[in-house]
Chains A and B, each alone.
Chain A
Amino acid sequence: MSDMMDDMDEGGEGVVKKFMFVNRKAPHGTIYALEGLEVVLISAAFDQDVSMVFVDDGVYELIKGVNTKGIEVKDFSKTYRALEGYDIEKLYVEKASMDARGLTEDDLIVDVTVLDSAEMANLMAEQDVVISY
């Protein structure tokens, strides 16, 4: 995949809205995780206030130490590390989801902010647009 937009980011002054992308699926069993990531990368061209959150099995998308050679698919866990270059720096994970899977921040491939469920709920309530995968 890619996202070649030559001029998208040179448009006029638009209204900045708060967009949240909610990731709830494990990475390879379904296409949701990859599709969601592609949409986020495309949305970066619109200069909106983007947050990505990872809850439930979505936290598995960020695991370190992935090797996809055996299943012959692209290792898109590396692509989460490109988000910073796209100025998408607000990444949040829910603590309860991490705990239920025996995971800590050290297991993740990118820097994230860990929120408890109430904090996550508040962040969600603040958004103009929430898109869920």
Chain B
Amino acid sequence: MPAAEPSLVVDRLRKDFGPVAALNGRMVRVLDGISLSASPGRVTTLLGSNGAGKSTTLACAQGLLKADGGTVRLLGEDPASAGSRLRSRVGVMLQDGGLPPSAKPMELLRHVAGMYRNPADIAALAERLGISDFSHTTIRRLSGGQRQRVALAAALAGNPEVVFLDEPSAGLDPQSRQTVFDLIVELRDRGLCIVLTTHLMEDAQRLSDYVYIIDRGVNVAEGTVSELTARTSSDADARTLEFSARPGLQPPLWTDGRSVVEVSAGRYLAHGLRTPADLADLAGWWQQLGVFPDAVSMQPRTLEDVFLEIAEGGTRA
């Protein structure tokens, strides 16, 4: 898919917080040169552990925080100084929801919709997200997942071109998560630029067209899910095979980067397999020990593998 003109371009973004009393009044650098771009018709994901700087990056991109260095361009404007015209084209779902506890969902959504010239069809949106079932219960009494759906609807109330979703699946049960994910994909297919953050690999893997992995305020890796999972620091094609057999097997004495590790009693991972011959070696070792595994599986690498590798290796792209 040819990438359209990016809706969001973040370039070497820096943000300091503080002064922090516990650090003798020093400033803390939360973002140290984050760069990313997000285009229409794509889901762009910021993946990182808690405290990596994802929400701060979004807050700067939304204009809620002013950058201390670098630039942010959202739909061609600087969000920190832009007015209602830019805000009318952007929908935001905050991590903490930002919903008044004493309000009722439908009342709040209609109020938010009233801020726009051409709002979304609130009734249809509420129906779609299953909000109609609790539309007249005060937000205080809703579950985390219900609130999350109201916050998503509020972000979409103005028919935005760009949507920021901070941890959209937090607190959702599996069914709501599917509903929310289906809607996100549909919005993407309609041409919206969707920027989301998550610390859940599975979400990133399921939804993203492009992923930026950030850690301690810097970019550490980026690419499509398949690009990222194909990437290793040493060897692009190495696979890991998992098998179960009786516990306590003596590992083979391989010296060329291949290894077998017992990760839990009776569950083994064979790392660094690159060719069918490597598989034959593994089978030869089983034969030596008189082992016939109960289960064998070779899976594609997941984002989690990539993430752990980066986090452990400290390699920074």
A and B found bound together = no
